[in-house]
Amino acid sequence: MENLQFNLGSQSTNQHVCQSQREGDWIIFTCSKCPDYERRVNWRTGQMSVRHGLLDVAHIGTHLPSEIAYALRHIN
């Protein structure tokens, strides 16, 4: 799986950086500033759904698979 990024609402000056986690084929992005916000992306099919997104906020985020993140933290 490749590094997954999104940046929607780039016209907005109000940006919130999302955290991500993986559950099976789904990457789930959540926002610490918007507790009801959730973006789900199926990395195999490309299917996406958004729950409670604010139109005046640009939610941005990236997902780095845990195996790659671990390897990057433990480079000799």
Say how far apart CA 25 and CA 65 lie, in whole Å.
Answer: 12
Instruction: Answer for the pair 22, 45: CB distance below 8 angstroms, yes or no.
Output: no
Read off the pLDDT of each residue in 30-52 and give the average, rounded to a whole number.
Answer: 92
pLDDT band at 11 (very low <50, low <70, confident <90, very high): low
The pTM of the full predicted model, rounded to 2 decimals, is: 0.69
**pLDDT tens, residue by residue, 55-66:** 788 888 888 777
Closest CA to 54 of 27, 24, 34: 34
